Amino acid sequence: MTAKFALGSLCFVALFILSCDFPERPTVLTISNAPVFRPSNPNEVKTIEQALSAVITVVQDDLRLPTVDPLTVYTYKNNLSFALFGPGREVSIDTFQVAAGAKGNEMHVKMTAVESSGVKNLPLGYFLEVFAHEYAHNLHYTISANPPPVPKWFSEGFAGWVAANVLHSLGWQEYKVSLHRALREVAYHRDILLGLSSLDDPKIWSEQLVKPKGAIRTYVLATIAVNCLIQKEGLAAVMNYFKTGVFVSSFRISWEDFARDFDRYISETGVQKMVPFKTNKPDWKIGYTWLYARKVPGKTIQLQREVGKESLYRNEACFVVKEGGQEILVTKGTLSQVQNMQDGKVIWRADKPNLVMNWPLEQGKKWRNIYKFEDFQRGTSGVSDRLMVVPKVETIRVSAGVFDTAKVEAYDSETGRLVAEYWYSPEVKWMVKVRWYDVSVDGFREDELVSFKVED
């Protein structure tokens, strides 16, 4: 649904009230012959030019895809600027959610969407996935002079595939991890997904996008579909489809056959065999230690956690866990974080425990982990709302050995996206592996157990 500019002053006033900003014409940047740039981590990306140079470098040199040259980038200061001076002559109902868009060889970026991530002055590198996604659309539009129409899921899935491969080539997040996350999301939300062929209809796509968990219903599902198509037919077949609008299968599989096979694949994804188990809360003692290797884009560091002493917090008994120069208070009753301190100062606190574990752990168990927090280091505060689920028992190998674990997944209650995964081992009495996907915190991180000491 859209609102025409012909609505006149009433539309303008409404937009002004919603945005509380004065409109300004966009800043225009032309990128041509982009220099090779391979940042080792998001913090090295300081400008939009650098972000797009990194994307173009990977797309051209690693994926062997065409280059959009020149690329014209329009950046908008605020919501109203994007609404009034953005692409097209219409104001979309999702104007206040859009971070970027592509049209021909133009990319349009709304800076307020980038800057409202919840962290002040977050480097542009943390949004490289967005720039890569939109650049893939620029590629689509410029592959031929008059590219034929293709299904919305196909073009958006291709953009998601490109974005995930850009992160992989830079060493920020392995492609298999991005795909794993997408598969876990569709497995968890399987019951709300439509068949792939239904998403051929742009109207149905738009309807699904604005429903709860809209990104899972559309973009995530589409990315998995294109991944399957590329695995089966090759990237050349995908590019030919963009150019001609004709799906040609080297295996003589029709478009309808592919959609049907994909729907069957999704319906079976993540189906878990019930394995009864019950994992109780461990009994911690002073001196327990765990050494982890923390992987973040560009580096791996070692991080030790040690149960240092006991304390009281709001009249509740707690352990003080030492970690990387911080003291983390976790309640003895739940082993859940409630406050972080550094150099004698509170740097983070919550109004109730961050209930990552809810004892005992059993397959299929679910709970809602919601709390208010204050982050004094970043100058932010808000509400964390996660749906937690224990999908299965999983045996995994890490540096410290092979362990049977209870897997716990955390999903954002609003978007449905998988934001974290935890593998808890009764033998280790804590996590042997943790993944965080939340860009509003530190981007992708992974902790893997190296050694531990939990002798009784």
Both tokens of residue 3?
A: 């609102």
Instruction: Judge whether residue 426 has pLDDT over 80.
Output: yes
- Of all residues in the chain, what percent carry a pLDDT higher than 70? 89
How far is the C-alpha of 283 from the C-alpha of 411, rounded, in Å? 28
Cα-trace Rg, the chain: 24
Q: What is the 3-state secondary structure (H, E, C) of 295-314?
A: EECCEEEEEEEEEEEEEEEC
Position 6 scores a pLDDT of 34
Q: Which residue from 154, 182, 179, 153 is spatially nearest to 168, judged by alpha carbons?
A: 179
Q: Where along the chain do the CATH 1.10.390 domains lie?
A: 2-268
Position 440 scores a pLDDT of 57
Q: What is the 3-state secondary structure (H, E, C) of 333-378?
A: CCCCEEEEEECCEEEEEEEEEECCCCCCECCCCEEEEEEEEEECCC
Cα-based distances in Å from 438 to 173, 185, 445: 12, 14, 9
Position 413 scores a pLDDT of 96
Decide which of 102 and 37 is more confident.
37
Collapsing DSSP states into helix, strand and coil, what is residue 287?
Answer: coil
Decide which of 5 and 273 is more confident.
273
Q: Which CATH architecture does the domain made up of 289-453 adopt?
A: Beta Barrel (2.40)
pLDDT tens profile 137-155: 999 888 876 777 888 999 9
pLDDT tens profile 22-50: 788 999 999 999 999 999 999 899 999 99
How far is the C-alpha of 241 from the C-alpha of 174, rounded, in Å? 27
CA triple 92-95-45, angle to 5 deg: 135
Q: Which residue from 151, 373, 372, 350 is spatially nearest to 262, judged by alpha carbons?
A: 151
Decide which of 399 and 274 is more confident.
399
Centre a 10 Å sphere on the Cβ of residue 279 and count the other Cβ atoms it contains.
Answer: 19
Helices (H), 90-245: 111-115, 128-142, 152-169, 175-188, 202-209, 214-215, 221-233, 235-244
CA triple 335-337-338, angle to 5 deg: 125
DSSP designation for 216: I
Position 290 scores a pLDDT of 98
What is the average pLDDT score of the chain?
88
Instruction: Judge whether residue 55 has pLDDT over 60.
Output: yes
Find the helix or strand (DSSP H, E) in which 12 lies: helix 9-19
| pTM exceeds cut of 0.85 | yes
Instruction: Judge whether residue 65 has pLDDT over 60.
Output: yes
306 close to 451: Cβ distance less than 8 angstroms: no
pLDDT band at residue 254 under the 50/70/90 scheme: confident
Instruction: Judge whether residue 171 has pLDDT over 60.
Output: yes
pLDDT band at residue 14 under the 50/70/90 scheme: very low
Beta strands 106-110; 71-76: pairing state: parallel
Name the class of domain 2-268. mainly alpha
263 close to 196: Cβ distance less than 8 angstroms: yes
Q: Where along the chain do the CATH 2.40.360 domains lie?
A: 289-453
Collapsing DSSP states into helix, strand and coil, what is residue 48?
Answer: helix
Cα-Cα-Cα-Cα dihedral sign, residues 438, 440, 441, 442: positive
Q: How many helices (H) and strands (E) does the chain have?
A: 12, 18
Centre a 10 Å sphere on the Cβ of residue 263 and count the other Cβ atoms it contains.
Answer: 17
14-22 long-range contacts, Cβ below 8 Å, gap at least 24? 15/79, 15/80, 15/83, 15/84, 15/91, 15/95, 16/80, 18/79, 18/80, 18/96, 19/78, 19/79, 19/80, 19/83, 19/96, 21/77, 21/78, 21/79, 21/80, 21/81, 21/112, 22/78, 22/80
Collapsing DSSP states into helix, strand and coil, what is residue 26?
Answer: coil
Position 114 scores a pLDDT of 61
DSSP designation for 140: H
Q: Which residue from 28, 15, 131, 3 is spatially nearest to 81, judged by alpha carbons?
A: 15
pLDDT tens profile 211-243: 999 999 999 999 999 999 999 999 988 888 888
